[in-house]
Amino acid sequence: MMWNNTVVIVTGASAGIGASCARLLRQKGALLSLTGLPDPEFQEAEWRDTLVTLGDLTSAETRARIVEQTMRRFGRVDVLINNAGVGQYGWPSEVDISISKQMFDLNVFAALALTQSVLPIMRRQNSGAIVNIGSVGGKVSLPWAVMYSATKWALHCVSDSLRRELRGSGISVTKVCPGIVDTNFREHVLAGQPPNSVRAIRRIVHPDDVARGVVRGIEKKLPTVYVPRIGWAFVMLDAVAPRVMDLYLAAKGGPRPERESEVVGWSASMGLPSPEGSQSPVGVIAQRVAAAAGNEVARKE
């Protein structure tokens, strides 16, 4: 794909993944239409000469302005990157559903509504690309962030269904599933706090890596992109050994599980040697599955 003069709408572009996508695409020669919440620094600093539409994306009026101003400036829309989103921490038994509904409005319904607004343009062009920023947490449900995971599951469903609907239309649909990204996501959640063990996780992804995954997904018209690759292994582990994943997430989300002997038994039944030393059996198994998955992904590429 030639990026020069390609018109790209990026939502949630004031920081994090959205800003990284915008910078990378600008370097490649794309014409940008950026959106975000009202923020003087966003409009007046780095993006002074770029089309910026400020407003609440859950508002139909804001979405209409985004499309209208993009068409007035550029006359076309080639790529839509639905990145805007927000989080909420909370366990299923106690999560505030009223806050969850607000999160669904932005993470799912606003993304779908904006997609519906640009699709007629792309259909007339017989070309286009839709990218939805999902999450590994939308593939493996995280009990301490149940409704955030639910929004990403829903967005993944929208992505896959839309891709199948648009088959043969010239419009590609890609969902990008990052792991934990080095952004201010946790500071901007609508409610709750992550468990301390989750907060201490150091294996995080830089937003620039996610931006490169977005570009790769568009260029290769991939249905799904995991950033980093180990995310694919994480999803596979949940599919083939859900009890192991249950124990792993229990260890991350609360007290260490008391029955890790079950994991050792499962390991033996799979022909894996019993873990030795102080490392968690769950972690050992996850690492082995991840390594095998990484090798498989490398072969596919």
Q: What is the pLDDT of residue 69?
A: 98
Which stretches within the chain are classed as H helix? 16-27, 40-44, 60-74, 97-104, 111-125, 146-165, 196-199, 207-220, 230-240, 242-253, 261-269, 281-300
Q: What is the pLDDT of residue 200?
A: 77
* 8 Å CB contact between 161 and 58: no
CA 141 to chain centre: 14
Contacts of 171 (CB under 8 A, 6+ apart): 119, 122, 123, 127, 128, 129, 130
Q: Where in the chain is the domain with CATH 3.40.50.720?
A: 7-228
Query: What's the Cα-to-Cα distance from 244 to each of 47, 103, 199, 259, 280, rounded to whole Å?
Result: 46, 30, 21, 11, 11
Contacts of 234 (CB under 8 A, 6+ apart): 136, 139, 140, 179, 286, 290
Rounded Cα distance between 195 and 252, Å, is 8
From 89, 148, 226, 248, active-site residue: 148
Q: Which long-range contacts (CB under 8 A, 24 or more apart) does 118-125 make?
A: 118/9, 118/67, 118/77, 118/80, 119/171, 121/67, 121/71, 121/76, 121/77, 122/77, 122/78, 122/170, 122/171, 123/169, 123/171, 125/76, 125/78, 125/170
Q: Which long-range contacts (CB under 8 A, 24 or more apart) does 125-129 make?
A: 125/76, 125/78, 125/170, 126/169, 126/170, 127/78, 127/170, 127/171, 128/77, 128/78, 128/79, 128/80, 128/170, 128/171, 128/172, 129/78, 129/79, 129/80, 129/171, 129/172, 129/173, 129/174, 129/218, 129/221
Residues 166-177 as b/e (b if ≥16 CB within 10 A, e otherwise) read beeeebbbbbbb
Q: What is the pLDDT of residue 287?
A: 53
Q: Which of 25, 52, 29, 28 is nearest to 41 (CA)?
A: 52
DSSP assignment letter at 175:
E
pLDDT less than 50: residues of the chain: 255-264, 266-282, 285, 289-301
**The amino acid at 77:** V
Class of the domain covering 7-228: alpha beta
Q: Does the N-terminal peptide bond of residue 228 adopt cis geometry, omega within 30 degrees of 0? A: yes
Q: What is the pLDDT of residue 152?
A: 98
pTM: 0.83
* 8 Å CB contact between 121 and 77: yes
148 is a catalytic site residue: yes
**The amino acid at 32:** L
Phi, psi of 178 (to 5 degrees): -80, 160
